[in-house]
Amino acid sequence: MGAIAAALQAVHARIAAACAEAGRDPATVQLLAVSKTHPADAIRAAFAAGQRAFGESYVQEALAKQAALADLEIEWHYIGPLQRNKTRAVAEHFAWVHGIDRLDLAERLSRQRPESLPPLQVCVQVNVGGETSKRGVPPDAAVALARQVAGLPRLKLRGFMTIPPPSDAPATQRGYFRVLAALLHQARAEGLDVDTLSMGMSQDLESAIAEGATIIRVGTAIFGARQG
């Protein structure tokens, strides 16, 4: 078995253990393989090992890899920062966008989403740690933005995404993820049709699963340290 297939197997074992601990069905946790900075061949190896959803953060890099991998049925997720001059490429070349944090950019994505494609699946990004360096709306603004995004015709609001401040302490990690889980509950209570918590990375996926993550975004644990 190749290194990437073995690493994927190890991540699936971590997911299974975390789900057993939390009393959850592993089928309710989707693994998004974060392939940013890694070459198309690494994605091809993960695909051969059964992985289908890949996350990219840089538009130009992603488009080049998509072209090189056009023979594979990959579900592409854009997890990077949204820039005004890149929304058209994102609207045309991805199935999901995890980092919606401004209504005007969401409106552009909706306008630019080709009619030939299904609605763009999106999550509102929430800055649970209040760090000035991180994107995302504050928790108390998240449901209001979600409601506005839900009204855009060519987007399908799925839920919330976060990148919490790094911490080695499971209790601290879980506290941040609990904020996102509470927002999902609140949005549902207010009648929004949402089902997704995009949270948890290589270091903290167990804590995220314990708090209800439905998509974990894992790069380093699958592909190794980022290149370049």
Ligand X SMILES: *Cc1c(COP(=O)(O)O)cnc(C)c1O
Shortest distance (Å) from residue 191 CB to ligand X = 28
Exactly one of 7, 15, 46, 79 binds ligand X (CB under 6 A); that residue is 79
Exactly one of 9, 28, 83, 220 binds ligand X (CB under 6 A); that residue is 220
Q: Name the residue nearer to ligand X (CB basis): 158 or 217.
A: 217
The residues in 180-199 that bind ligand X, with binding defined as CB under 6 A, are: none
Q: Between 81 and 110, how does the x/- string for binding to ligand X read (CB under 6 A)? A: ------------------------------
Q: Dihedrals φ, ψ of 32, to 5°?
A: -100, 120
Exactly one of 7, 15, 142, 163 binds ligand X (CB under 6 A); that residue is 163
Q: Which of 175, 57, 78 is nearest to 123 (CA)?
A: 78
Shortest distance (Å) from residue 127 CB to ligand X = 12
Cα 163 to Cα 150: distance, rounded to the nearest angstrom? 22
Exactly one of 57, 121, 127, 207 binds ligand X (CB under 6 A); that residue is 57
Tokens of 24: 């959850």
* Region of 18-26, 43-51, 112-120, 214-222 interacting with ligand X (CB under 6 A): 214-222
Q: Name the residue nearer to ligand X (CB basis): 66 or 198.
A: 198
Shortest distance (Å) from residue 212 CB to ligand X = 17
Alpha-helix runs per DSSP H in the chain? 3-22, 40-48, 59-68, 87-93, 103-112, 139-150, 170-189, 205-210, 220-223
Q: Name the residue nearer to ligand X (CB basis): 38 or 108.
A: 38
Cα 92 to Cα 110: distance, rounded to the nearest angstrom? 11
Q: Which of 140, 122, 89 is nearest to 198 (CA)?
A: 122
Determine the angle formed by the axes of helices 40-48 and 3-22, rounding to 10 degrees.
60
201 forms part of the interface with ligand X (CB under 6 A): yes
30 forms part of the interface with ligand X (CB under 6 A): no
Give the contacts of 228 (CB within 8 A, at least 6 positions apart).
Answer: 37
Residues in contact with ligand X by the rule CB under 6 A: 34, 36, 57, 79, 163, 201-203, 217-221
